[in-house]
């Protein structure tokens, strides 16, 4: 089979395009462990975790204020549907995850819209989904934004970072597209790790 014929018959793959931003990304190099402009391929049954712990997370965020496991992404299918969708789960006890204008608390999960902004602390991630045919694989691809992603969205005001208590001081006028939130099971060591983080953080404040 020629390379042209192989390309024509090869299945397309679902891909999450993620543009990441942090106001101090140059100074702190918070994304230095994430490959940029390179597609990573995963099996559809894999769970992709983001966080500070390079032993547990596929994508490491190099910031001491990020939880050991911050959140996870996974593929799923609705009953009687062949379409693959992504769900996101907040695995941080310390910080709420903001998806567009909806807050996800610890153990909450929801379906990712085709385009959305994720926010936690000072991190912003613009996520766009490209549909594919494959039921065996999906891909991710990262790009580094040079300015706040909220300024790139039409009719979206500049928001303040989400504080450590997870309470947002402003609202974002994006279309909400989500399913019912459902608790999930997470790593039982998270609570111990969080207590250590809080103790270190309080020590720095004093």
Mean pLDDT of 4-19: 76
Judged against a pLDDT cut of 50, whether residue 169 lies above it is answered with no
Q: Output the CA–CA distances (angstroms, integers) from residue 127 to 9, 26, 119, 141, 142, in the order listed.
A: 28, 21, 11, 10, 9
Strand order, beta sheet including 59-60 = 59-60, 48-51, 71-77, 84-90, 109-111
* 121 pLDDT tier (thresholds 50, 70, 90): very high
The mean pLDDT of the chain is 80
Q: What is the DSSP letter of 190?
A: H
Mean pLDDT of 53-68: 96
The percent helix, strand, coil of the chain (3-state, each to 5) is 15, 30, 55
pLDDT at 155 over 70: no
For position 19, which CATH number holds? 2.60.200.20
Burial 109-121 (b: 16+ CB within 10 A, else e): bbebbeebbbbbb
- Whether residue 112 has pLDDT greater than 90: yes
Quick one: pLDDT at residue 196? Answer: 52
* Mean pLDDT on 12-23: 96
- In the predicted structure, residue 168 carries a pLDDT above the cut 70: no
Beta carbons of 74 and 50 less than 8 angstroms apart? no
Of 111, 143, 110, which Cα lies nearest the Cα of 126?
143
Count of structural domains within the chain:
1
Instruction: Report the pLDDT value the prediction gives residue 125, as an integer from 0 to 100.
Output: 97
- DSSP code, position 57: -
Q: What is the domain extent for residue 162?
A: 3-205
Residue carrying the six token digits 């983080």 = 197
Q: In the structure encoding, which two tokens stand for residue 20, read together?
A: 């990441």
């Amino acid at each position: 089979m020629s390379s042209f014929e192989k390309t024509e018959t090869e299945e397309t793959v679902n891909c999450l395009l993620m543009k990441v931003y942090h106001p101090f990304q140059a100074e702190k190099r918070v994304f230095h462990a994430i490959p940029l402009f390179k597609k990573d391929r995963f099996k559809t049954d894999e769970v992709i975790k983001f966080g500070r712990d390079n032993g547990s997370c596929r994508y490491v965020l190099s910031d001491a204020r990020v939880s050991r496991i911050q959140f996870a992404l996974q593929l799923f299918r609705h009953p009687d549907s062949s379409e693959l969708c992504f769900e996101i789960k907040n695995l941080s006890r310390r910080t709420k995850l903001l998806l567009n204008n909806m807050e996800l608390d610890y153990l909450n999960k929801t379906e990712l819209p085709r385009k959305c902004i994720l926010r936690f602390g000072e991190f912003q991630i613009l996520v766009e989904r490209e549909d594919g045919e494959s039921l065996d694989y999906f891909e991710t691809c990262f790009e580094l934004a040079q300015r706040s992603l909220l300024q790139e969205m039409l009719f979206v005001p500049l928001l303040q970072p989400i504080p450590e208590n997870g309470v947002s001081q402003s609202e974002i006028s994006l279309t909400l597209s989500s399913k019912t939130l459902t608790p999930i099971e997470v790593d039982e060591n998270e609570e111990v790790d969080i207590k250590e983080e809080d103790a270190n953080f309080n020590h720095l404040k004093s």
